[in-house]
Structure 1
Amino acid sequence: MDHALIVDLKNKMAKCLQVVQDDLGTIRTGRATPALVENVLILAYEGTQTLRLREMATITTEGPKMLIVSPYDLSTIRDIERGIGSANLGFTGSTDGNIIRIVLPPLTSERREEFIKLAHTKLEGGRVMIRQIRHETMNRLKKMTDDKEIGEDEKKRLEKEIQEVTDEMIAEIEGLRERKEKELREI
């Protein structure tokens, strides 16, 4: 059974990895995904509320280059269209009856390279967060040893386990990098 310190470490690192994955999902690839627009803030109901698009509409894909936004409340369709346009995402929506169609223009090679650099920056931030969590856990382990809560043998075993978990998470981040880069290089 894992020590409470290791369980806590794994939970924190898993949350960190989820943050990195969510962050990467916002980077546009050549393919349409709802994650591109779901967090766009929309000023709705005559400016009385600011909501995320995913709270106001269903977002689906129609083919590799088109998103369909179906508002729950049709009175907000103009607000949603305006919000998408003002989000500076490089595309706009057009109303087609009760839905908004968003056609994604093809990415230029320069834009792809910019997105790859952005992905690398976000992933490096994830690596830093993982290492910070490792550092904090090692400090807690040292304090536990100093307070005589655990012995030297247990400390060495836990240090090794902490490093193994850290290496696994860094490898996960590396896998995310490879997949995102492959997606971005696809034409």
Structure 2
Amino acid sequence: MSDATDLNELKRRMDGGINAFKSDIASLRTGRASANILDPVTVDAYGSRVPLNQVANITVPEPRMLSISVWDRAMVQAVDRAIRESNLGLNPIMDGQTLRIPLPELNEERRRSLVKVAHDYAEKSKIAVRNVRRDGMEGLKKAEKDGDLGQDESRSLSERVQKMTDETITEIDRLLAAKEKEIMQV
């Protein structure tokens, strides 16, 4: 087991958990319009589920409005249905091949539910990071058992893996706190 390669791979996988978390929280609504809000929406199109941005163009014409220009007239109903069923609390208004989505002010209850969703995303990311740590620790134990690593070297690498894990989880907590503050800001 080469220490640099494996630690770099573990770090890359942990960073992937942070990036996935950033992507998840970017889709949470904070009171102003953003095309990222619709990232989790998938549409039944041509016999499969595809992301909304592959069947339509999403723009933000006003701070509290989204505009979706569907490319294929036959897909307008499917896009409307997908947005309504996405649990984002959005109600599109059809205007030909364009859907307009007014974003209502977030009330206190909705803000709190969005914070809970953000916490769920954070917990999933932390679990992914811990799984990476577990894989790394198991690899170190196996290498030590096989005689590829000495006990001291294995312990030293284990401590480095734990330190990387702690730093990654701290970063997730920092991002969560910032998003929570952004959501709760009136």
TM norm. shorter chain > 0.5: yes
Query: 8 Å contact 2:84–2:91 — kept in the other structure?
Result: yes
Q: Name the counterpart of 2:172.
A: 173
Matched residue, 2:6: 5
Structure 2 counterpart of 1:148, which letter? Answer: G
Partner of 1:18: 19
Alignment match, 2:161: 162
Q: CA deviation at 1:143?
A: 1.1
Deviation string 1:6-37 (CA, Å, 9 cap, x unpaired) is 02211221222222222223332212222222
In the TM superposition, what are the counterparts of 1:84-163 in structure 2 within 5 Å? Answer: 84-163=83-162
Gap regions ≥5 residues in structure 2: none
2:42 match = 41
Q: Which ranges in structure 1 are unaligned for 5 or more consecutive residues?
A: none
The CA deviation at 1:103 is 0.7
In the TM superposition, what whole-angstrom CA distance separates every residue of 1:145-172 from its partner, at most 9, and x where no partner exists? Answer: 1111122332233122212211221121
The 5 A counterparts of 1:70-81 are 70-81=69-80
Q: What TM-score results when the alignment is normalised by the length of structure 1?
A: 0.86
- TM-score, with structure 2 as normaliser: 0.86
RMSD: 2.2
Output the CA distance in 2 between the equivalents of 1:43 and 1:127: 31
**Across the two proteins, how many residue pairs are aligned to each other?**
185
| CA displacement at 1:180 relative to structure 2 | 0.9
Amino acid in the other structure paired with 2:15: A
Q: Identity, % of aligned pairs?
A: 35
Cα distance in 1, alignment partners of residues 49 and 123 from structure 2: 31
Structure 2 Cα separation of the partners of residues 128 and 44 of structure 1: 33
